[in-house]
Structure 1
Amino acid sequence: MDIYQIIDQIHLQNLDNLDESIDGALFTDDHDALFQLGDTLLQYGLNPQGLKVFARLFELYPDEPDVMAYYIECLIDDNQHDKAIEVLHNTPLTVERLMLEADIYQQQDMLEVAIEKVKQAYMMSSEDPIISFALAELYYFDGQYLPAARSYEYLINNGIDRVNNVNIQSRIADCVLQSGDYEEAVEHYEKIDDKDMLSDDYFKMAISYQKADRIERSIQTLQTLLDKDPDYMQAYLLLVNLLESERKYNDAIIVGQKGLSLNEFYKELLVDTGRIMIKMHNEKGVEYLIQALTIDPSYVEASLLLADYYREEEAYEDLVKLFAYIDEEDLDPTVMWHLAYSYQQLEKDTEAKHFYAESYNVLKDNALFLTDYYNYAREIADVKLAEQLYALMLQIDPNADIDA
């Protein structure tokens, strides 16, 4: 079977005896056909066979950039990173070699080494926009936003606004946002055409407006985002918080409920929406908080809000019942304090003593906690404990009005 017949069989997904056919094709004199075979194998995800082909071609053409690039790609896909580096080190120092080395080091999360390789390539070919883009991307993903922005701006200044489907203006805006210059970030986002704005761009633009204290513009941007992409869940959470900050509580609740209709397991949105509902005396908010705690029993914010709510409402039995099914190791010390107080009110001294003692080490500098604990110690006539707590309370506030 000749090479073109093998290629046809691959397209038809007839892969019987493929390895045998590949082995027979490796020593053909038609090297162009062999290259096409290797490319076809990789297109169909047949990487082990593709590696065989390009290893053979690399033996024949070690100085051919395309052959080397494919061979190195195959070695990387086969997790032979050390072999790939060894092969490259034995080839002449070229831009292609440096860029391949950078790719390998990037995949190994050695971004600083990858950056140095691309810098070397840039010194050899500073006019190549792909190299400038690669350097910018490495800086960006390494969190070096200022040098990344400079590299992206070089591309913009040379009339290049998109590389590999990446919007360069969007990258610059994000770099400036991450660097903390929010007004400038807004300016860059406003330069992006609406048709080129992705959902992430709208969200980060909203954050830029928020950080720049332009809350109404941030709200408008999030509303635009949700009109275009109603499944962008993070936008619901931020919008709820912004509406709350503007005291638009009913609007915040409506947005939160709309988001939860799409994802009822979004615990952060459950908590924020539920908290605002409780603030507006809507007891359904308690159900949202309980749902969040059911999803994640260790979710501290939900447990704190519920503990505070039940104690304020003097619903001590409800508080005890809620946390009875949660592992003690998942309980925040403040929740334990409220549990202790609830058990105290229910005259269950064993549990009250336990939870006061468990929360003491963390909350011993909290005057309100110490007041509760001190009053309980007096209630159960534990004089020694009461004296100890009394002394601590005076250390915190020597002028405190405490019944001795």
Structure 2
Amino acid sequence: MGISQQFIEAIETGDIETVQSLIETLLLSSEPDAQYEIANMLIQAGYLKEAEQVLEHLQFIFPEEAQLKIDRAQVLMEIDEEDEALLLLTSIEEHADEYPQALLSLADYYQMQGFYETAEQKINLALSLLPSEPVLIFAKAELLLETGKFLEAVRLYENLKEQTDEIAGVRLSERLAEVYSSGAAYEDAIPYYDESLLHHVTPDLLFGLAYSAFQAGEYDLAVRKLNEVKTLDPDYFSAHLLLSQAYSMLEDNDQAYSAIIEGLSRDEYDKELYLFAGKMALKLGRTKDAEEHLRQAIVLDPEYMEATLTLVSFLHAQERNEEVIELVELISLNQDDWSALYPFAADAFMQEENFERAYEFYSLAYTDHKEDPIFMEKYLYFLLEEGKREEALEIGKQLVHLQPNEERWQDLIESLL
């Protein structure tokens, strides 16, 4: 049995001791070409430290071989030996054929570290040497995508797609779909998702298409694709919420509620599912179920503002003032400044004839709600009831500004004056 086959068997069985033993034999008796082949095999199998051992030996034999420096540097970066990797890459001479490849490896390193400007400089330098090299153009497009420069990235991906369908293991139709979707150009993303799905179908691609369709207002298409996602992967949790939302946009509330309940049966710890289930139950008049769903969302995350606001609004509509007060007081104890709840608390305290606390919450709510005519009107009449005429006058003046066509506010101000 040849040494390559021995390595294959040891790697497949995860026999690290045999791999180490074979490396010793390899370095003592095999030719450099065989050693290089085994090093690549080890890299592919994830045996990076063992691959580094072989590449270090080869570099000792061929100290000026640029390709070895690049290969070894890439492995060193993977095992967190960046300093030595950078020394190897920066030692490659500018006149070497491998210099653009070294620049690309440096760009990869700086991109991973978040130094995007430096990474782009390295890629641009490589492109100045090889302006038509697809791998370099693709690398720049990937960097632009990561930094949110979607229009520039699209231009490069489109140019590449005219030459090839796939590069560096990435199908360009998929990447373009992703870029257009990331840039909120959802209608442009849809045909690229369709093209990608002609080659292979995955839950991620189907969901990407469904999400773009939903954002583009094509809710029927979104529903069809999301049901395909569920068929392929019933536990693709994101599909359940989006499917329910799509049915809701189609005003099919029964289907929307059924979809969200199915999602909860598969993921009972997703607060967003409980919130949307609560909203759909409210639409269907299933108030008991709605309250249960909303309270469960808050149990999962006591700081879930949207769920708390929805529940407080529901309790307020049902005139369950004591429960509104209890919820708001609990949040106040935790020192959470949720001003969206204060108008409900003010009204609840007023209904319970606790006017001192009502005044306190109206005052707290004023800062964030002074542009809301409905709140300001309630506040005005509360102040009048409490005999706070000067404060009521100021609120009345603001209402004139908010609703200049409402003659009653001007009349009220004149009567107060």
- What TM bracket, shorter-length normalisation? 0.7 to 0.9
CA distance in structure 1 between the aligned counterparts of 2:93 and 2:17, rounded to whole angstroms: 40
CA distance in structure 2 between the aligned counterparts of 1:206 and 1:45, rounded to whole angstroms: 35
Please tell me the residue identity of whatever aligns with 2:73: I
**Structure 1 residues without counterparts, runs of 5 or longer:** none
Please, which moves more after superposition, 61-70 or 333-342?
Answer: 61-70
TM-score normalized with structure 1 length: 0.82
Q: What are the within-5 Å matches in structure 2 for residues 12-27 of structure 1?
A: 12-14=15-17
- Structure-2 residue corresponding to 1:177: 181
- In structure 2, do the counterparts of structure 1 residues 375 and 153 end up closer, same or farther at CA, with 3 Å as the change threshold? closer
Tell me how far 1:110 sits from its aligned partner: 2.2
Please tell me the residue identity of whatever aligns with 2:195: K
Match of 2:327 among 314, 322, 330: 322
CA RMSD of aligned residues (A): 3.6
Tell me how far 1:119 sits from its aligned partner: 3.9
Tell me how far 1:282 sits from its aligned partner: 0.8
Give SS of 1:192's match: helix
- In structure 2, do the counterparts of structure 1 residues 233 and 194 end up closer, same or farther at CA, with 3 Å as the change threshold? farther
- Structure-2 residue corresponding to 1:313: 318
Tell me how far 1:205 sits from its aligned partner: 1.4
CA distance in structure 1 between the aligned counterparts of 2:383 and 2:215, rounded to whole angstroms: 48
Q: Are 1:242 and 2:246 counterparts?
A: yes
The alignment of Structure 1 onto Structure 2 pairs a total of residues equal to: 396
Match of 1:204 among 196, 205, 208: 208
- Structure-2 residue corresponding to 1:286: 291
- Structure-2 residue corresponding to 1:143: 148
- Structure-1 residue corresponding to 2:119: 114
Q: What are the within-5 Å matches in structure 2 for residues 371-382 of structure 1?
A: 371-382=377-388
**Contact 2:197/2:205 (8 A) holds in 1:** no
CA distance in structure 2 between the aligned counterparts of 1:177 and 1:266, rounded to whole angstroms: 25
Please tell me the residue identity of whatever aligns with 1:369: F
Match of 1:301 among 302, 306, 328: 306
- Structure-2 residue corresponding to 1:390: 396
- Structure-2 residue corresponding to 1:213: 217
Give SS of 2:207's match: helix
Identity %: 25
Please, which moves more after superposition, 176-185 or 287-296?
Answer: 176-185
- In structure 2, do the counterparts of structure 1 residues 383 and 129 end up closer, same or farther at CA, with 3 Å as the change threshold? closer
**Contact 1:28/1:34 (8 A) holds in 2:** no
Tell me how far 1:213 sits from its aligned partner: 3.4
**Contact 1:172/1:188 (8 A) holds in 2:** yes
- In structure 2, do the counterparts of structure 1 residues 277 and 78 end up closer, same or farther at CA, with 3 Å as the change threshold? same
- Structure-2 residue corresponding to 1:340: 346
Please, which moves more after superposition, 137-146 or 243-252?
Answer: 137-146
Give SS of 2:408's match: coil
Q: Are 1:152 and 2:157 counterparts?
A: yes
Tell me how far 1:281 sits from its aligned partner: 0.9
Please, which moves more after superposition, 68-77 or 259-268?
Answer: 68-77
CA distance in structure 1 between the aligned counterparts of 2:211 and 2:42, rounded to whole angstroms: 45
**Structure 2 residues without counterparts, runs of 5 or longer:** none
CA distance in structure 2 between the aligned counterparts of 1:90 and 1:199, rounded to whole angstroms: 45
**Contact 2:278/2:292 (8 A) holds in 1:** yes
Match of 2:280 among 276, 283, 292: 276
- In structure 2, do the counterparts of structure 1 residues 330 and 165 end up closer, same or farther at CA, with 3 Å as the change threshold? farther
Q: Are 1:88 and 2:94 counterparts?
A: no
- Structure-2 residue corresponding to 1:361: 367
